[in-house]
């Protein structure tokens, strides 16, 4: 068997993507927990930790570039490196969305939530589940699982619409809550984008596995 | 009777292709080519890749019947070039090798002047006319391989005094001057340094506009860089043939993938 060193580099990349995925899952979970109780201290931590996610993305990109430059990968090796580059970018943006929720917590301040959060945590749960499963599908090269995950995006979209409708009715009823209702709409929007980013990852898994590059689930947003 | 000369009389009007049908080649009892069926598109670069001994050079040499020169070589099947099976006994081999030229691994210039190297082929194929026409042909050949400016004042110099890259360009010019339709290249850059290799590759990309080029190479990056189509051979069989972009990003056969990815070979 040749190219053992190259294979080890690829395994390192997969490990790094898994770690980055875990960092993003933690960031999303923490951001929602912080939003539920308006914990600005926790929010500050999420914002600070996003730097680590960003750095992880650059580290992965650098490794990918070095592998392309020095190993001249082709076929599925090349597709894997391209997929990893793309996945790292999407994970980094998901980290930014979690950071965005953290910033909303800080903007919201100590003013009580205008309503208990129901749909937003549910959106977050689905996003986290989609993300974990997508990383698993990446490691297993499972195109069928990746395609199935994309269908979950519709659930997040529906919840997003629901959050928007409900908060709109709150704003119509009481214009004084517009600022805080808008914060929550932004938070929901961040989660909706996270789910879209997971579908991007799934598309890359299908590309990696089959060589076919196409959109699986067209977002309504 | 094969009407080879008529079919090739106006190459610019004909889309040149090479097609093999159930091509087998034996060296004694050894089967070097095993039922090879390939269609090589005209006016493109086609690369044949595969590990040592897979039959890629043997296949290439079939296209102008160079294997006829090998003792014990026996060919079965068909090789159709522009409608004619060149394996027919009646094929005019001199004419075939004029129309299907070949460039080898090491530049094989003759121990003659640059001028006489180029004139040699014209003489063999009785394409000599007056001095002016010979000079025009030589200038055109050297221009096509980007040597004219460098060599126009040194045509009486011995060709062996040139650099290896210049010698290989000269060999390509020597083929071109005979107005071939197809140029076969057997590892044409293996004796050259990386920069000279890249310059020859650039030349091949230009020549493909006028000629059908078939290149055998063990350098997979070269095949990826220079060719439009790639065929992968293994143990005498053509495992896969397709567009180079597809072969190098998403090959259909696991064996191809493992070879081009460097996992064996």
> Could you tell me which residues of chain B have a Cβ less than 8 Å from any Cβ in chain A?
220-221, 224, 248-251, 256-257, 260-265
Residue numbers in B near A3 (CB within 8 A):
261-263
Give, rounded to a whole angstrom, the gap between the first and last alpha carbons of chain B: 43
What's the alpha-carbon Rg for chain A, to the nearest Å? 19
Give me the interface pTM, i.e. the ipTM: 0.78
- β-pairing, B100-103 with B182-186? parallel
Of B248, B264, B265, the CB nearest to A74: B248
Digit-coded pLDDT (tens) for B213-222: 999 999 999 9
Reference A89, options A133, A58, A121, A65; nearest CA is A58
| A64-73, A134-143, A157-166, range with the lowest pLDDT | A64-73
Model pLDDT, residue B131: 81
Instruction: Count CB atoms within 10 A of the CB of residue B183.
Output: 24
**SS3 per residue for A12-25:** HHHHHHHHHHHHHH
Domain ranges of chain A: 4-210
Domains and CATH numbers, chain B: 4-97+110-260 (3.40.50.300)
Which of A4, A75, A212, A213 is the mutation pick for testing B, counting most B CBs within 10 A?
A75
pLDDT at A143: 97
Q: How far is A3 from chain B (nearest CA, A)?
A: 6
Residue B4 confidence (pLDDT): 38
What is the β-pairing status of strands B212-216 and B45-49? Answer: parallel
From chain A, the residues in CB contact with B242 under 8 A are none
**What's the confidence (pLDDT) of residue B8?**
35
The pLDDT assigned to B15 comes to: 67
Low-confidence ranges of chain B (pLDDT < 50): 1-14
User: Global pTM?
Assistant: 0.84
If you average pLDDT over every residue of chain A, what do you get? 95
A4-210 CATH fold: Methane Monooxygenase Hydroxylase; Chain G, domain 1 (1.20.58)
Shortest distance, CA B223 to any CA of chain A (angstroms): 12
Predicted pLDDT at B237: 98
Give the pLDDT score at B13: 44
Crossing angle for the helix pair B131-144 and B164-176, to the nearest 10 degrees: 120
Sign of CA dihedral B52, B58, B64, B68: positive
Residues of A in contact with B249 (CB under 8 A): 74-75, 78-79, 211
CA geometry: angle A16, A21, A26, nearest 5 deg: 125
Long-range pairs for A61-67 at CB < 8 Å and ≥24 separation?
Answer: A61/A85, A61/A88, A63/A9, A63/A12, A63/A13, A63/A16, A64/A13, A64/A88, A67/A6, A67/A9, A67/A10, A67/A13
Tens digit of each residue's pLDDT (9 = 90 or more) over A15-67 = 999 999 999 999 999 999 999 999 999 999 999 999 999 999 999 999 999 99
Chain segment A95-112, per-residue pLDDT in tens: 999 999 999 999 999 999
* Rounded mean pLDDT, A83-103: 98
The helix/strand/coil state of B25 is strand
Q: What b-and-e string marks burial along A36-72, b requiring 16 or more CB atoms within 10 Å of the CB? A: eebbbebbeebbebbeebeebbeebeebbeebeeebb
DSSP sequence for B168-225: HHHHHHHHHTT--SEEEEESTTTTS-HHHHHHHHHHHHHHTTTSEEEEE-S-HHHHHH
Inter-residue contact A209 to A82 (CB < 8 Å): no
Chain A nearest C-alpha distance from B256 (Å): 9
Whole-angstrom distance between the N-terminal and C-terminal Cα of chain A?
Answer: 48
Residue written as token pair 């159930």: B22
């Amino acid at each position: 068997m040749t190219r053992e060193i190259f294979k080890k580099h690829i395994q390192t990349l997969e490990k790094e993507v898994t770690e980055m995925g875990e960092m993003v899952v933690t960031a999303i979970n923490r951001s929602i927990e912080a939003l539920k109780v308006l914990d600005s201290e926790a929010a500050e931590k999420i914002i600070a930790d996003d730097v680590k996610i960003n750095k992880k993305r650059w580290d992965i990109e650098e490794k990918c570039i070095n592998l392309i430059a020095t190993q001249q990968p082709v076929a599925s090796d090349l597709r894997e490196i391209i997929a990893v580059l793309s996945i790292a970018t999407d994970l980094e943006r998901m980290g930014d969305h979690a950071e965005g929720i953290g910033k909303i917590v800080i903007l919201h301040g100590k003013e009580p939530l205008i309503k208990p959060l129901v749909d937003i945590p549910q959106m977050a749960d689905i996003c986290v589940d989609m993300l974990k499963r997508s990383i698993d599908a990446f490691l297993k090269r499972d195109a069928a699982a990746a395609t199935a995950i994309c269908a979950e995006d519709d659930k997040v979209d529906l919840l997003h619409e629901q959050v928007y409708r409900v908060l709109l009715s709150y704003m119509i009823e009481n214009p004084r809550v517009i600022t805080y209702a808008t914060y929550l709409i932004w938070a929901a929007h961040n989660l909706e984008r996270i789910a879209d980013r997971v579908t991007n990852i799934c598309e890359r898994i299908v590309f990696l596995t089959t060589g076919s590059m196409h959109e699986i689930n067209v977002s309504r947003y | 009777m094969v009407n080879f000369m008529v079919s090739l009389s106006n190459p610019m009007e004909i889309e040149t292709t090479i097609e093999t049908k159930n091509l087998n080649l034996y060296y004694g009892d050894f089967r070097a080519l095993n039922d090879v069926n390939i269609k090589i598109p005209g006016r493109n670069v086609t690369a044949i890749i595969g590990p040592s001994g897979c039959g890629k050079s043997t296949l290439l040499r079939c296209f102008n019947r160079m294997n006829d020169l090998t003792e014990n070589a026996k060919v079965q099947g068909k090789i159709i070039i522009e409608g004619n099976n060149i394996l027919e006994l009646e094929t005019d081999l001199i004419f075939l090798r004029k129309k299907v030229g070949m460039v080898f691994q090491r530049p094989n210039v003759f121990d003659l002047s640059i001028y006489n190297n180029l004139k040699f082929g014209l003489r063999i194929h009785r394409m000599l006319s007056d001095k002016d026409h010979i000079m025009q042909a030589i200038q055109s050949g050297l221009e096509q391989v980007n040597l004219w400016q460098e060599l126009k004042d040194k045509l009486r110099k011995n060709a062996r005094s040139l650099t290896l890259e210049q010698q290989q360009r000269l060999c390509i010019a020597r083929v071109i001057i005979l107005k071939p339709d197809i140029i076969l290249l057997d590892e044409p850059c293996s004796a050259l340094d990386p920069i000279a290799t890249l310059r020859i590759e650039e030349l091949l990309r230009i020549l493909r506009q006028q000629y059908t080029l078939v290149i055998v190479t063990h350098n997979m990056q070269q095949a990826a860089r220079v060719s439009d189509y790639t065929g992968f051979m293994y143990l005498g069989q053509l495992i896969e043939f397709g567009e180079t972009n597809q072969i190098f990003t998403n090959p259909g056969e696991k064996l191809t993938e493992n070879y081009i990815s460097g996992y064996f070979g």
